Each structure stands twice: as C-alpha cells, then as structure tokens.
Amino acid sequence: MFHVEPDAADRRPPASATAVFGDRLELAQQYWDALATDGVVRGLIGPREVPRLWERHILNCAVVAELLGEGETVVDVGSGAGLPGIPLAIARPDLRVTLVEPLLRRTKFLVEFIEAAGLPIVVVRGRAEQPGVVKEAGGADAAVSRAVAPLGKLAKWCLPLVHDHGRMLALKGSSASEELAREAASLTDAGAGKLEILECGGDVVPTPTIVVRAERLPRRHHRR
C-alpha cells in the first residue's frame, strides 16, 4: 500500500463550492480528501482525476440537487466511489440517500467514509435488479446514476426502484441526445415516459451537468 499526498492547490475548493455546500463545505472537503487518498489507493479514482475532483466529479454531481424536491428519497444506482449520492447528501441534508453498489471493496470505502463523516446515508451491497435490493431500496422518489450503463439498460435497473411517477436521473455526457434517440424504444419498453434532457449547474460548474430524466409510468401505460 503506498501513500498518496494530494497537491495543496488541487485540494483547495473553488469559490463555487461554497455556493453549493454552504456551511457543509468542510464535509465536502473531507470527501475530497477521502477520494484523493484512499479512493486512489483502492482504485476507485484514477490518479489523473485528482486535479479535477472538485469540478468534474464532486460539484458536477452536487448540482443535480436542483432537480430534487425537499425531503425526497434518492437511490444512487452503481454508486462506485459515492458519485453522485454522497455529494447530493452533503449539499442537501434534507434528502434521504441510499447507495447501491455490488462490489465489496467499494462498499467498504463507502461505509468507512460515511461513518467517519457522520452522514445518515444507507449503503446496500448488491445489484439494483436483485429482489433483495429492490425490497430494501425501492419506493424511492428518484434513482440517480453516473457512468453506469446505456439508458435502456439503466431504466430496467432504476425504474423498479422508484414509485409510479418517480424519476430516473441519469448523468450523461455531451452525446446524451444521440443516446436518448438510440435508446428510446428500450426506454419505452422499460416503462419510461416523459423523457427529457436537462442541464444543471450552469452558473456553478464550467460545463453544465447533463441529465436525462425519465418518469416511471404506471404499468397500464407500458407498451405491450
């Protein structure tokens, strides 16, 4: 095991972080430290990502909070190193956040950080489609994800975890519109409706976060 010493300049949060996290900026800094050290050592974050952890990862995820209502229940599917669930929970303490992640080494990192930070986040180890996971984490208002799978497959995992008219919020890149067009039929088959592409954090991050939002339609509306 080797020691990772982040650059002090990389560690310093941008001014926009204060606007996003407010008096919880210290918690966000604690998360940055965990990602830049243990996260790199454990292979959850690439070393080259450390200089852009704030804007590309932490803030990029936290700004999605503008799409979530007061006190909503949120499930982070395929959470990995805790993105986007942990930044959302730090920025919005009113949210009830559950992280779903199948790999043991990742869930260990998540649990260790959450306990150290004193955050009321639940970690569920398993795959989103497993009945036990659906039972434990299901019925949410929103299922969020980042860099997990194509939209069609993602909808099959996320929509069963939200109630009727709940939303899937998938963080995607600049090719989101092309992917949405390509996956439209699969999304419909999975019970998704009201598909739209949104941008978040345009006044906070240099490049706005692109989110594909899809609503879980009641079963009677599904294609037969």
Torsion-angle region of 179 (φ positive above 0: left; ψ -120 to 50: alpha; else: beta): alpha
Per DSSP bridges, beta strands 192-200 and 96-101 are unpaired
What the chain holds in terms of domains, given with CATH numbers, is: 9-221 (3.40.50.150)
**47 upstream amide cis, omega within 30 of 0:** no
Q: What pLDDT tens digit does each residue of the chain (224 aa) get?
A: 445 567 777 899 999 999 999 999 999 999 999 999 999 999 999 999 999 999 999 999 999 999 999 999 999 999 999 999 999 999 999 999 999 999 999 999 999 999 999 999 999 999 999 999 999 999 999 999 998 899 999 999 999 999 999 999 999 999 999 999 999 999 999 999 999 999 999 988 989 999 999 999 997 655 44
pLDDT for 224: 44
The residues, any chain, with a CB within 8 Å of residue 99's CB and separated by 6 or more, are 76, 79, 82, 85, 86, 110, 121, 122, 123, 124
Q: How far is CA 105 from the centre of its chain?
A: 18
**Distance between CA atoms of 130 and 4, rounded to whole angstroms?**
36
